[in-house]
Amino acid sequence: MSAVPTRASMNVPLLDLKAQYADIRADVDAAVRSVMESARFIGGPEVSSLEEEVARYSQSAHGIACASGTDALLLSLWALGVGPGDEVITSAYSFFASAGTIANHGATPVFVDIDPRTYNLDPHRLEAAFTPRTKAVMAVHLFGQCADMTAIRAICDQHRVFLIEDAAQAIGSEWEGRRAGSMSDFGCFSFFPSKNLGGAGDGGMIVTQNPEHAEKLRLLREHGARPKYYHSVVGTNSRLDALQAAILRVKLRHLDRWSEARARNAALYDPLFEGSRVARPYHDPRARHIYNQYAIRVAKRDELRKHLSERGIGTEIYYPVPLHLQKCFAMLGHRAGDMPQSEAAANETLALPIYPELSEDQIRYVAASVREFTDL
Ligand SMILES: *Cc1c(COP(=O)(O)O)cnc(C)c1O
């Protein structure tokens, strides 16, 4: 093996969207110019084509674009009529929106601890969370790997409750050959710039197999108006811009290549941590992992993060506080110790750079810099 590159030559950001743009600049610029010249900024063919393409990509019958991943979750819960007095079960270890959108509707998020290997909702703990008030379950596919949808689906079917997939980090990932978003009543995607399919701003989409749910979502995202100015239900404005749709359509053509490059980078990292104190991400053989994040687990995580920052390496903590311990949910009465696996993950995980354009030298530099600290 050649020498590990030194600090002077290396700077590894957590994500490098400039490198991605450089790779696809001509197509993105042409797509933007075409929308500008068409002057159709809301709705129109770019949005409807993206809806069809993402639905097809996600093995789903319908796609409903909206303003963000958060709105995708919000609209899905709305379409189910989730409201005060209802409970929605979700993972205690996720981005805030998974629980925040439940609370936005006046419903109560009920948290379930995670499987410590995958960081996803542990189906063995799901059954105990049901009550007569349970209206739905929201499974989260964290870091780009699907939750155990076979087990979760079976439990939801048995209780006859709706199932939502928060697939914001998981577009194109699979569980037993089935794509994220297609295994539930509502599959919710985010096009936030740092997701595997990211726009030049906010955006989101819901996919569903059910035409009635699709129709309801379309109504809700446009103030319940059909026809225009005749309102049968109260909705909101949650649309995706044509400019975002046009950019996302260009990027969707590269998504599989990028997700494969992320998986290849993960396969480069893995052996470099062999025999170290670093716990590597677990890849369930039943899943296609798209590595939205490559999260390692270490003791002294915060010190390691500082060490890497001094070596020019960008990292992030997803997420430092599990949802049941967030201040805004204090009224739920949770205490430290209630969800031990989520709490341990919040204390020990660190996301390393995994973006597709990383070079092998950069990966070796990151791994060597991690081990410089953890091997001590
Ligand atoms: C990014 C994300 C969201 C929210 O998506 P936005 O587009 O930022 O609103 C929801 N859930 C998870 C798990 C996410 O990672």
Compute the average pLDDT of residues 157-182: 98
Hey, how many other C-beta atoms are within 10 angstroms of the C-beta on 205?
Answer: 32
What's the gap in Å between 100 CA and the centre of ligand 1? 11
Please give the sequence-ordered ranges of beta strands (E in DSSP) within 3-155, or none if there are none: 62-66, 87-91, 108-112, 134-140
Give the homologous superfamily in CATH for domain 254-374.
Aspartate Aminotransferase, domain 1 (3.90.1150.10)
Hey, how many other C-beta atoms are within 10 angstroms of the C-beta on 320?
Answer: 11
Provide the pLDDT confidence category of residue 4 given band limits of 50, 70 and 90.
Answer: low
What's the gap in Å between 75 CA and the centre of ligand 1? 14
Atom of ligand 1 nearest to the CA of 194: 1
Residue identifier of the C-alpha nearest atom 2 of ligand 1:
168
Q: Residue 247 is encoded by which pair of tokens?
A: 């950019």
Query: Which residues neighbour 107 within 8 Å (Cβ) at sequence distance 6 or greater?
Result: 77, 82, 83, 84, 85, 86, 87, 88, 135
The pLDDT tens digits of the residues spanning 218-240 come to 999 999 999 999 999 999 999 99
Q: In 3-state terms, what secondary structure has residue 220? A: helix
Q: How far apart are the first and last CA of the chain?
A: 21
The pLDDT assigned to 119 comes to 98
CA distance 199 to 249: 10
Residue identifier of the C-alpha nearest atom 7 of ligand 1:
69
Query: Which residues neighbour 326 within 8 Å (Cβ) at sequence distance 6 or greater?
Result: 96, 99
What's the gap in Å between 229 CA and the centre of ligand 1? 31
Query: Which residues neighbour 112 within 8 Å (Cβ) at sequence distance 6 or greater?
Result: 89, 90, 91, 92, 121, 122, 125, 126, 129
Residue identifier of the C-alpha nearest atom 14 of ligand 1:
168
Residue identifier of the C-alpha nearest atom 13 of ligand 1:
95
CA distance 92 to 169: 16
pLDDT of residue 1 exceeding 80, the answer is no
pTM score above 0.85: yes
Provide the pLDDT confidence category of residue 6 given band limits of 50, 70 and 90.
Answer: low
What's the gap in Å between 76 CA and the centre of ligand 1? 14
371-374-376 Cα angle (round to 5): 100
Atom of ligand 1 nearest to the CA of 292: 15
CA distance 348 to 228: 51
Pick the CATH number of 22-252 from 3.40.50.620, 3.40.50.970, 3.40.1350.10, 3.40.640.10: 3.40.640.10
Ligand 1 site residues, Cβ closer than 6 angstroms: 68-70, 94-95, 97-98, 140, 166, 168-169, 190, 192, 202, 204
The pLDDT tens digits of the residues spanning 206-217 come to 999 999 999 999
225: β partners: 231
CA distance 80 to 77: 5
Phi–psi pair at 50, nearest 5 degrees? -60, -40
Residue ranges, comma separated, of all CATH 3.90.1150.10 domains in the chain are 254-374
Q: Residue 264 is encoded by which pair of tokens?
A: 């290849």
Please report the sign of the dihedral spanned by the C-alpha atoms of residue 25, residue 31, residue 35, residue 36. Answer: positive
Q: Residue 69 is encoded by which pair of tokens?
A: 């991943």
Q: In 3-state terms, what secondary structure has residue 294? A: strand
The pLDDT tens digits of the residues spanning 43-95 come to 999 999 999 999 999 999 999 999 999 999 999 999 999 999 999 999 999 99
Hey, how many other C-beta atoms are within 10 angstroms of the C-beta on 82?
Answer: 24
- Give the chain's length: 376
Peptide bond just before 227 cis, omega within 30 deg: yes
Name the residue with tokens 């629980």. 99
CA distance 157 to 185: 11
What does pLDDT average to over the chain?
97
- Pair 240, 21: CB distance under 8 Å: no
87-91 and 108-112 beta bridge pairing: parallel
Write the DSSP symbol of residue 226: S
The pLDDT assigned to 10 comes to 84
Atom of ligand 1 nearest to the CA of 70: 9
CA distance 315 to 128: 36
Hey, how many other C-beta atoms are within 10 angstroms of the C-beta on 37?
Answer: 8
